[in-house]
Amino acid sequence: MDKVFITSQVSGTILLIDSEAKVNRTFKKKGQKHFVTADQWDIIQFNEGFNYMLNQGMLYVETPEAKKDTPIEEFEKIDENLIKHCFLEITPSAFEAKVKNFGQEILEEFVQYAVTNKIMDYEKSSILKKLCGLDIGSIIRSLEEDK
């Protein structure tokens, strides 16, 4: 493994800075990729801020070899397929377990997906409302009234 590729999963700007590893990367848009060398990876994988961004779903590690023997809790790529799977194929308790540690921006993507696809699952909507404060049912009703 020569390089480890890291991808932004959020639309805002993310800074990945580690002075010890000599890493200074700026992710300016969702889907933007940067790489770090194997030596840099050996250092940043223990960086608390980097781990936080991974666990919140803000960043995703693309390189499979880097995921082995590392302290990072989750390597979940947040995309439309995952969101669809969460809404349509898993139980509300599994849904809550999966999304409870995601950051606000990722939770808002779940809400946006539900609104766009008019998914009115009361239990999952309640979970999202509790976590991020957005009520899917109210948003859908509001959009219907505006038409």
Tokens, residue 121: 């699952």
Residue spans of beta strands (DSSP E) within 28-77: 33-37, 59-61
5-49 per-position pLDDT tens digit: 999 998 889 999 999 999 999 999 999 999 999 899 988 888 888
60 in helix, strand or coil? strand
Question: What pTM does this model have?
Answer: 0.60
Distinct helix (H) and strand (E) counts, the chain: 8, 5
* Domain definitions of the chain by residue range: 3-67, 80-146
79-111 per-position pLDDT tens digit: 888 899 899 989 999 999 888 878 888 898 899
The three state secondary structure string of 18-33 is ECCCCEEEEECCCCCE
The predicted structure's pLDDT at residue 123: 94
